[in-house]
A and B are shown apart, each in its own frame.
Chain A
Amino acid sequence: MQSALVVVIMSFIVFSGVFLVGDPVEILVSDDADQEEREMMIKSMGLDKPFLVQYGIFISKAVRGDLGDSFVFQEPALLLILDRMPATMELAVVALLIAIIFGIPLGVWAGLKPESLASKSIMTGSILGFSLPTFWVGIMMILLFAVLLGWLPSTGRGDVQIILGMPISVFSWDGFSHVLMPAVNLALFKLSMVIRLARAGTREVMHQDYIKFARAKGLKESRIILVHVLKNILIPVVTVLGLEFGGLVAFSVVTETVFAWPGMGKLLIDSIGLLDRPIIVAYLMIIVFLFVFINLVVDICYSILDPRVRLEDIKS
């Protein structure tokens, strides 16, 4: 209920915000068009109607899944974005996997031996990961791996295969080499976060009684870490990552711009340049939807996983 309200309010804010942006007619109509042609153009795009009427039309269409046609491409904005979505999702998922696969072991290591040199360098590295602006790291990666060393391609997306109806590129070498740099770039920030979460979790868990008990039982150290510690630190890591997936999609705007990755973030930046209002509005609506959806799912998961939350709900 509340989620629906947020979507409606955000739709109004987004629409009125974008409404204030410069006049798209100026850009679309060629310079030598006369007044009559201009007015035809304005009328055909529905820009002559008052603001509230435009918003009303927008909402009534949006409910039916029509977020308007792009001014530039003359195609439904929703379709254009959905067309680009798999590329962005692929990037975000690969980045998330990188963050998990490298972040958890490094974080656990740093948590087990907090005083060792390796742990200290891991933690310093994670501060760097937090501080470095994503786009600059991206540029440096291009400079190093594409320009100086020539190992990886700098821009674009590689060969695409259709798997289960989705265009996916990671399973061929060409596609993988294209996705590697942008994904690592996008993952850096989350990687630092996972390292910090896993480290804090490990340090906390190591002092618990059940670890002492496991040691007393004579279990192997590797089993203690892999089973007892890992299971307990996974809970906070997975929740936070679930919430942060939306952040990854949003941040891919930057990474996609640096690496010219043909996803929806790149489309957004291009559309801002062209003042293509319907695409901007549609993109933002999709993102709002995605966020509200993720929050809802996380909330529901909480109440399933954590009995305390459920009890509070019953009381109130």
Chain B
Amino acid sequence: MTIIENNPELMAEDRNDEENYEGAQTPLRRFLSDFCEARLAVFGFFIILVIALVAIMAPFIAPTDPYNLATVSILDSRLEPGEAMMSGTIAYLGTDGAGRDMVSAMIYGLRISLGVGIGSGIIAMLIGISFGLLSAYAGGKIDSVFMRIVDIQLSFPAILVALVLLVTLGKGVDKTIIALVVVQWAYYARTIRGTALVERRREYIESAVCLGLSKNRIMFRHLLPNCLAPMIVVGTMQIAHAISLEATLSFLGLGMPQTEPSLGRLISNGFEYILSGKYWISVYPGIALLITIVSINLVGDRLRDVLNPRLQK
């Protein structure tokens, strides 16, 4: 999360050189004050920080280790929230069908969901940026071939593409990330190509070409920093989307394996018990998932408003 959130600042600093005509108010400060105007977005950002911290610190925070089969007992299965487990630990949110404490399972599940979402988001972003920039800069046949591929891929719904890939690849963290990357890269590629096409015609690119700089240098040192703003917005939204998609796939029985349950898998496990009124197994992981996705979207929504030059003024 920190990497993504740091990016706007990086970008703002890059712009310092070109747009430093506002005197004392640097673009970075302007960006921060603009962002903070929306209370809801700041709140969302705060929640994301807490969630990220909980996910990173999972082994230290969680009351029990849900992966340690020696301590997980089937006798504890489906306890109601607040009941004590065999080991004496109180399961504040109950236990699931396998006797795992829901609080611990959720903290670890959050860790997996976030890891898969952010990991796939970053890989997809790198791939998308490379293809999109190359496409915009090279133009001509390369551009039309790449964009045709992107078009075709985007015309199929993400869930279906991911479903087919996971049916072929099987279950696992790495495979889920691959499927999510394949689904997402096209969004990044298209977004950055659109921005880069506009930026390409600017004078600073022309002067860089006149200076005889290499293509790689122009593309990654001059073009890329100026195209980052929309990427940050798409990136935040896509990570929320990836987390939700992973949960959906895990719910359908693809994606994450039973031994490393993500939030989606936990919800899916609880689904069998829902008709018998044992609500907590799917409700609580769902709420955790919901809070995560909504806070990321709130921040993304605000970032879009702040970073979109067309909406300013």
Binding site for B on A (CB under 8 A): 6, 14, 17-18, 20-21, 127-128, 130-136, 139-140, 142-143, 146-147, 154, 246-247, 250-251, 253-254, 257-258, 269, 272-273, 280, 284, 287-288, 291, 295
Contacts and interface: CB of A to CB of B under 8 A. Distances in A.
Interface string B279-296: 100110010011001100
B198 interface: no
Contacts, number: 98
B267 A136 contact: yes
A60 to B, nearest CB: 23
Contacts of A130: 297
Contact of B251 (A20, A127, A254): A254
A288 B160 CA distance: 10
Contacts of B164: 14, 17, 284
Nearest to B169: A20
B168 interface: yes
A136 B253 CA distance: 14
B244 A142 contact: no
Given A18-B168, A130-B297, A269-B253, A254 B159 contact: yes
Given A132-B290, A143-B279, A253-B252, 20 more contacts: A18-B167, A131-B290, A131-B294, A135-B248, A135-B252, A136-B247, A139-B282, A140-B283, A143-B283, A147-B277, A154-B275, A251-B159, A253-B160, A253-B163, A269-B252, A272-B167, A272-B254, A288-B156, A291-B156, A295-B155
26 contacts: A6-B152, A17-B164, A127-B294, A130-B297, A132-B290, A132-B293, A134-B248, A135-B247, A135-B248, A135-B264, A136-B267, A139-B282, A139-B286, A140-B283, A143-B279, A143-B283, A250-B156, A250-B157, A251-B157, A251-B159, A253-B159, A254-B248, A272-B254, A284-B160, A287-B160, A288-B156
Interface string B235-258: 000001000100110011110000
A134 B248 CA distance: 8
Nearest to A130: B297
Contacts of B264: 133, 135
B294 A128 contact: yes
B157 A246 contact: yes
Contacts of B247: 133, 135-136
B298 interface: yes
A56 B244 CA distance: 38
Contacts of A257: 251-252
A280 B167 contact: yes
B86 interface: no
Contacts of A253: 159-160, 163, 252
Contacts of B160: 250, 253, 284, 287
Contact of A247 (B157, B254, B274, B293): B157
Contacts of A254: 159, 248, 251-252
B301 interface: yes
Contacts of B286: 133, 136, 139-140
Nearest to A275: B167
Contacts of B289: 133, 136
Interface string B106-118: 0000000000000
A133 B248 contact: yes
Contacts of B271: 139, 258
Contacts of B155: 291, 295
